[in-house]
Amino acid sequence: MSTTDTPYTFRGELALVLAVIINSFGVVLMLHSGSGISAISSVPYAFSEVFPILTLGTWTYIFQGLLIAVLMIMRKRFVVSYLFSFVVGFFFGIMIDVHEMWVTLLPTTLPLRILYFIVSYLVISFGIAISNRCQMPIIPTDLFPREFSEITSIRYSRVKISFDVICLLVTACMTFFCLGHLKGLGIGTIFAAFTMGKCIGIMGEKMDKKVAFTSFLSTHKLA
């Protein structure tokens, strides 16, 4: 490999911070676009609508805690790195509440709604691709499909799409039976659920050719 082909090395710690900020922004922006919330946050959103005593951010890290528990059951052992992922997820939930304070102030004309959806779709896909490679504990909603894929040896894109679709079904059932109508789901949500896994895979493949991530955990893997 020539010098010009050598991937640029990027710190995983910075990549993780970037992923948390942009992914939480993407989730809120997609909801604001009116096309529906992203699949990874649809279940917490349903709980926040049915049980509004807690914020979307709070329900988000409660849901993420459940995902961590499921992974540990699948691994049949206690995994320390999963707890660090929950901590990252906690800050992700906080950032969702922070972004909600200002994103909802953006104008909502039809052309802008379309733009918001496109931006949010690409931002979330890019953020998850970074998360999967940053060599750091990542938020549980990103971690779950990756680890499930590794445990079961099922292709990541297939696991991601299945995970998103199941989240949407849970959201649809909760909002329909508890609120009397579907809420938080739209054509954008459905489109993202069936295509985002593939988009993440494509972005990841291109990223692998250009960037290599390293972090203080790279040589000190958590059990």
CA distance 176 to 172: 6
Beta partners for 212?
9
Burial of 165 (0-12, 13-18, 19+ CB in 10 A): middle
Contact in structure between 133 and 204 (CB atoms under 8 Å): yes
Backbone angles phi, psi at 111, to 5 degrees: -60, -40
Residue 1, domain member (yes or no): no
Identify the DSSP state of 104. Answer: T
Residue 218, domain member (yes or no): no
139 alpha-carbon distance from chain centroid: 7
Would you state the pLDDT for residue 222? 45
8: left (phi over 0), alpha (psi -120 to 50) or beta: beta
How many other CB atoms sit within 10 Å of the CB of residue 16? 22
Residue 18, domain member (yes or no): no
Residue 11, domain member (yes or no): no
Residue of 89, 105, 106 whose CA lies nearest to 23: 89
Residue 119, domain member (yes or no): yes
Residue 75, domain member (yes or no): yes
pLDDT in tens, the chain (223 residues): 444 566 788 888 899 999 999 999 998 999 899 988 888 789 999 999 999 999 888 898 899 999 999 999 999 998 888 888 888 888 988 898 899 899 989 999 999 999 999 999 999 999 989 988 888 888 898 889 989 999 999 998 889 889 988 998 999 999 999 999 888 888 888 888 888 888 988 999 999 888 888 877 655 554 4
Backbone angles phi, psi at 214, to 5 degrees: -140, 150
Residue 71, domain member (yes or no): yes
Domain that holds residue 190: 26-213
Residue 89, domain member (yes or no): yes
Report how many domains make up the chain.
Answer: 1
CA distance 36 to 16: 26
Helical (H) or strand (E) element with 136: none
As a residue count, the chain comes to 223
Amino acid in position 130: I
Is residue 78 helix, strand or coil? coil
Beta partners for 8?
211
26 alpha-carbon distance from chain centroid: 9
CA distance 42 to 183: 10
Residue of 76, 42, 78, 75 whose CA lies nearest to 60: 42
